[in-house]
Amino acid sequence: MSNSIKLAILGLGTVGTGVINLINDNLNELKRRSGRDIIITEVGTRRQRDDIDTNIMQNSDLMAIAASDNVDIVIEVIGGTTLAKDVIMQAIKNGKHVVTANKALLAEHGNEIFAFAEENNVHVAYEAAVAGGIPIIKVMREGLAANKIEWLAGIINGTGNFIMTEMRDKGRPFADVLSEAQALGYAEADPTFDVEGIDAAHKLALLASIAFGIPLQFDKVYCEGITGITLQDVNYAEELGYRIKHLGFAVRRDSENDGDAGVELRVHPTLIPQDALLANVNGVKNAVLVNSHPLGQTLYCGDGAGAGATASAVMADVMDLVRVLGSKDRDDQSNSNQSNHGHHVPHLAFIPDQLSDTPILRADQMVTGYYLRVHAYDSPGVLADITRILSDAGINIDAILQKPAHKVGQVPVIILTLPVVESQMNLAIEKIEKLETITDKVVRIRLDELA
């Protein structure tokens, strides 16, 4: 085999350890595919570990590793947005390619990091940052490169999907399932990132930039988590033929006909038809449904978290970079001035100076269907009042379900609507809540037919 590719792994948590295990398990496959020896030369770890091969240098100084002459590719799996950013910038400055699983860092600082990488003629690869082991970055940047992406909808947090699945199937309490997800290495260091939708919002920001060729704009993603979802709503949704999933949506709105033009970036619990493929993606599985022209809908599904899935994505990036490094060697040998970076797909799929300034729509401009749960006193005319308010606001009711009184004299009324601009729905809900016959705040969950 020709000369070796030298890797440094910064961080030996679930993912870092998973990468070492994958290399040990599949070394022969990796070599046969890349034509190179792939060796880990250095690992960054706070404390010395006696389970690491003695040929690998252990160092707690990550900045030194990122500048080391004994490293070609730096794999950053420490997480966080401070030290991780410093070591990535250091690696780039020192001409090293970077592989990272750090969606928070890229969602928040990716524009700066990618620009610095372009300047330094290196690549920052991030397949593992979105949807775990599903090669969705490669699919969207390369496989769908000829398509115009209209929208995508994804289950992009494994922990959240695991919790929703266990609660629905087994009636297990939220906290209990979350602890299990943490023990299995699925959850973020701060699990509120999982259950409040922040992790999904990080990933959605990345997917949307690749889909539409817009700069990363995590701060404009509308974000709702799963902590407010009750078993009651899960069951009513099922009764009406829907299932509640926590989804991220990136939607291109070209026309003024169904609201303002721009891009919707939103993460929230959503009712989707029970027979939709996404509705049947359970446990820690992630899935991304992409609607593009002319291809139509395609679905990508697999494990979205955990050591093996994430290591698979990290090493897919390493293999890509090994090929780039291989082409550099060839260029050098032929005295070509062509940059090796020119062989690589752009970070956000579009040429950096072609990114567009399409506006990101505010929440009140977004267009979705709704599930409403209204609690009312059981008296004549209540339903008529509610439906009148909705029809005055131009909101089209798709289905309505009134349950028998669960408390003395009170009834839950469940209403499903067709898509409506959120500002209209806000006004209607305000009016409904002012009715004297209404006993509680209206519960609202968005609904999408995924058509």
The reply to whether 358 sits in an annotated binding site is no
Q: Distance between CA 280 and CA 215 in Å, rounded?
A: 32
Q: Distance between CA 136 and CA 134 in Å, rounded?
A: 5
The reply to whether 160 sits in an annotated binding site is no
The reply to whether 16 sits in an annotated binding site is yes
Among residues 110 and 262, whose Cβ is nearest to ligand HSE?
110
Among residues 96 and 202, whose Cβ is nearest to ligand HSE?
202
Among residues 182 and 327, whose Cβ is nearest to ligand HSE?
182
Minimum CB separation of residue 328 from ligand HSE in Å reads: 31
The reply to whether 178 sits in an annotated binding site is no
Residues lying near ligand HSE in the complex (CB under 6 A) = 132, 157-159, 186-188, 194, 199, 304-305
Minimum CB separation of residue 316 from ligand HSE in Å reads: 15
Minimum CB separation of residue 199 from ligand HSE in Å reads: 5
The reply to whether 17 sits in an annotated binding site is yes
Among residues 190 and 258, whose Cβ is nearest to ligand HSE?
190
Q: Smallest Cα–Cα separation from 95: which of 115, 67, 76?
A: 67
Cβ within 8 Å of residue 18, ≥6 positions away: 306, 307, 308, 310, 311, 314
Minimum CB separation of residue 186 from ligand HSE in Å reads: 5
Active-site residue (options: 96, 203, 220, 285) = 203
Among residues 194 and 224, whose Cβ is nearest to ligand HSE?
194
Residue 247's φ and ψ, nearest 5 degrees, are -125, 150
The reply to whether 387 sits in an annotated binding site is no
Minimum CB separation of residue 175 from ligand HSE in Å reads: 16
| 181-187: Cβ within 8 A, 24+ apart | 181/284, 184/284, 184/306, 185/14, 185/305, 185/306, 185/307, 186/158, 186/159, 186/162, 186/284, 186/305, 186/306, 187/159, 187/305
Minimum CB separation of residue 78 from ligand HSE in Å reads: 14
The reply to whether 13 sits in an annotated binding site is yes
Among residues 98 and 361, whose Cβ is nearest to ligand HSE?
98
Active site residue 203: yes
The reply to whether 230 sits in an annotated binding site is no
Q: Which residue ranges are tagged as binding site for NADP(+)?
A: 10-17
Q: Which residue ranges are tagged as binding site for NADPH?
A: 103
Q: Which residue ranges are tagged as binding site?
A: 10-17, 103, 188
**Active centre residues (catalytic):** 203
Q: Which residue ranges are tagged as binding site for L-homoserine?
A: 188
